[in-house]
A and B are shown apart, each in its own frame.
Chain A
Amino acid sequence: MQLLGLGSIFTILFLAGCDAGDSDGKLVVVTTTTHVTDMVKFVAGDRLDVIALMGPGVDPHLYKPSAGDAATLAKADLIFFSGLMLEGRMADVFAKVSRRGTKAYAVTENVSEKSLLEPEEFEGHWDPHVWFDPAIWSKCVDVVSDALSENDPEGKVGYTERAEALKTEYLAVTHWAQARLSGLPEESRYLVTSHDAFNYFGRAFGLEVLAVQGVSTATEAGLADRVAMVDFVKKHGVKAIFVESSVNPAIIEGIAKEAGVKIGGELFSDAMGQPGRLEKGPDGEQYDIGTWAGMMRHNVNTIVEGLK
């Protein structure tokens, strides 16, 4: 075995001498979470190939790259990640990436600190779930189009155009969501979910948000949190509570049973749906839950249907 290992390394070193390389001149763009992937894919259009590391249903706090992902990252020219510690240590690595020929951009890098939410005690540890605030998420589109334009100046016109189109779509979805949620009576505006991902959503659309787990999905909910949540749900007469697609639903299911409320459905939080899967809303319109717009429509429809 040892000899075999040594033998193979020499063979391999020899083979590596005739490195061919696989450069067709196209930039290799790698993205992390589904939200970032959707944004970058749209802005890049047909000009660039975008390779996503995390699929639908992956918890970005806990994601670990496979050997294939590592190989993808090894040939990346541009890396787009969400930032604000959403991807844990991996984002740390990206932020400091210093390999020649690889640049990494946090799409949230230009978001002003004033618009970010942070836990009270510690500055600089922001709530990373910014895609639920359309105003902030629109700013992130500019980071992507600027970065793509800088690295591929010939495509600049297209990138800028598509970025503007995307922001217009975000705005349209925002107006639609505001109108849809305004139908909810004041006393039922409570959004109870598995983990603390919806604070920006609540701020943007005027809902009070409560989560069983903290910002990080790595710590488990304590018994006291659970009891407090059951009390809250009962006291305020919350009609429905919600599970998340990338978080284990067991705790929410338990609370729903204890408090005697229904589960309003599954929301997309840290990951979006399967790209290309179409869903029909209650007012008959269709949307792709693998896109930001479709994800928002799905969440808003689920919330409104559950709470009304």
Chain B
Amino acid sequence: MREEFFPTFDSGSVFVDPWLSGFESTFQVVLMGFFVCLACGVIGNFVVARRLALVGDAISHSLLPGIAIAFVFTSSHSLPAMLIGAAVAGVLTTVLIELIHRKSRVKPDAAIGIVFTTLFAVGVVVISIWLDNVHLDADCVLYGEIGLVPLRESFILSGANLGPLPIAIMGAVALLDILLVIVFYRVLLVTSFDAGLARSLGMPVNTTHYGLMIALALTIVAAFEAVGVVLVVAMLIFPAVTVGFFFERLPALLFGVAPLSLAYSLGGFHLARWLDCSIAGAMVVTAGALFVVAWFFGPKGGLIYRSRALGFLFATSKQKISPQIVG
């Protein structure tokens, strides 16, 4: 155990050293964090709007049968096999959630609960039947770790080494998510916020739903492989809800994700350097802290803004009531 909980804060070793010595790995970790926050944050806006905020957590459990079955078929824990299993399970999760929610009166949060617990249990059963003696859990065969990204295999394009492969993949996923949002912007906007209107306008509501769900599942699985669970689950929620205290319109919400992602990634990295703790964990703590700041000071529904509004209402109603009592 440490002598004191917080190590002494030395701005030199926390902010300057990581960039002066070991610039490359520091840059790679921060860039990776940025890409994950960006990809999850952009798609997270629609996820939160559809009341599916916990879908990331759900997938982290429900991909167990995917990797278990992939293991049964291939008898190996090779990463490509595990990734394919996880991706199939992830897509299945989101599609089933959507299906149950749409074809019944079950609300999205309950649909998430039904789907992920069932799939997780299937995974546990598969493992206990066929794989009892094998070390198989997602932590061990699938989840990556952001601190290890600089050591990952390189992405080599026509002879040039462009740095670790997971960064390139995550960057591509983020770009793809952004492109998809731009191309399908109108449909996504209307279907996410007013499905009835979308249907009356003759928009392909179902196709959009399932398309979004598949993109979401693939983004989440790619991010799990790169940085593990906690960062991904948090980033599907935090950018969307935090920026919501500043803007109300969707374009602004989407643009707000980028600076927030940078703040989470940089802030979290340096917090982790100071406390010598998990980098992904520190990024999420940073996101939590920034949420609290936004919640207090945000102009759109922040606590301070609201309390002034409430105080004003209180004052006027009192003035209205008192004459009646007198009268």
Contacts and interface: CB of A to CB of B under 8 A. Distances in A.
A94 B278 CA distance: 19
Interface in A219-278: 219, 222
B76 A124 contact: yes
Contact of B259 (A5, A18, A73, A121): A5
B266 A216 contact: no
B21 interface: yes
B25 A70 contact: yes
A5 B279 contact: no
B139 A99 contact: no
Contacts of B140: 61, 85, 88-89, 216, 218
Nearest to A4: B263
B148 A73 contact: yes
B18 interface: yes
B215 to A, nearest CB: 25
B20 A19 contact: yes
Contacts of A112: none
Contact of A93 (B15, B26, B148): B148
A203 B293 CA distance: 60
Contact of A92 (B79, B127, B275): B79
Contacts of A67: 147, 269, 272-273, 275-279, 282
A47 interface: no
Interface string B111-131: 000000000000000011011
A71 B75 contact: no
Interface size class of B (residues with CB under 8 A): 35 or more
B97 to A, nearest CB: 26
B290 interface: yes
Given A20-B20, A65-B147, A74-B22, A216 B262 contact: no
Contacts of B90: none
B16 interface: yes
A98 B25 contact: no
B139 A71 contact: no
Contacts of A219: 127, 137
Contact of A62 (B22, B139, B263, B290): B139
A1 B263 contact: yes
B137 A216 contact: yes
Interface string B261-273: 0110011010011
A8 interface: yes
B29 A120 contact: no
Interface stretch (A9-17, A145-153, A177-185): A9-17
A169 interface: no
Contacts of B148: 65, 70, 73, 90, 93
B19 A12 contact: yes
Interface residues of A, number: 54
A9 B262 contact: yes
A123 B22 CA distance: 40
Contacts of B23: 16, 19
A67 B127 CA distance: 33
A101 to B, nearest CB: 11
Nearest to A84: B135
B278 A66 contact: yes
A68 B271 CA distance: 11
Contacts of A88: 135, 139-141
B132 A99 contact: no
B262 A5 contact: yes
Contacts of A120: 133
Given A6-B259, A65-B148, A96 B134 contact: no
A94 B143 contact: no
Contacts of A215: 133-135
A119 B134 contact: yes
B208 interface: no
B263 A70 contact: no
Contacts of B22: 71, 74-75
A2 B260 contact: yes
A149 to B, nearest CB: 24
A165 interface: no
A1 B134 CA distance: 47
A218 B276 contact: no
Contacts of A222: 128
Nearest to A62: B139
Given A5-B267, A89-B145, A125 B135 contact: yes
Contacts of A1: 259, 263, 290, 293
Q: Which of A73, A102, A123 has the most CB of B within 10 A?
A: A73
B152 A96 contact: yes
A22 B133 CA distance: 46
A90 B228 CA distance: 12
A2 B276 contact: no
Contacts of B75: 122-124
B252 to A, nearest CB: 13
Q: Which 9 A/B pairs are nearest by Cβ-Cβ distance?
A: A70-B147, A119-B133, A74-B25, A2-B259, A67-B272, A216-B135, A88-B140, A68-B276, A65-B147
28 contacts: A2-B262, A2-B263, A5-B262, A15-B16, A16-B19, A18-B20, A21-B21, A22-B21, A64-B147, A64-B278, A65-B148, A66-B277, A68-B273, A68-B276, A71-B22, A73-B151, A75-B22, A85-B140, A88-B140, A88-B141, A89-B145, A93-B144, A96-B153, A99-B154, A119-B133, A122-B75, A122-B131, A124-B75
Interface of B: 15-16, 18-26, 29, 75-77, 79, 127-128, 130-137, 139-148, 150-154, 161, 228, 259-260, 262-263, 266-267, 269, 272-273, 275-279, 282, 290, 293
Given A64-B147, A73-B25, A89-B139, 16 more contacts: A1-B259, A1-B263, A2-B259, A8-B266, A15-B20, A16-B19, A16-B20, A65-B147, A66-B272, A70-B148, A74-B22, A85-B135, A88-B141, A96-B153, A122-B131, A216-B140
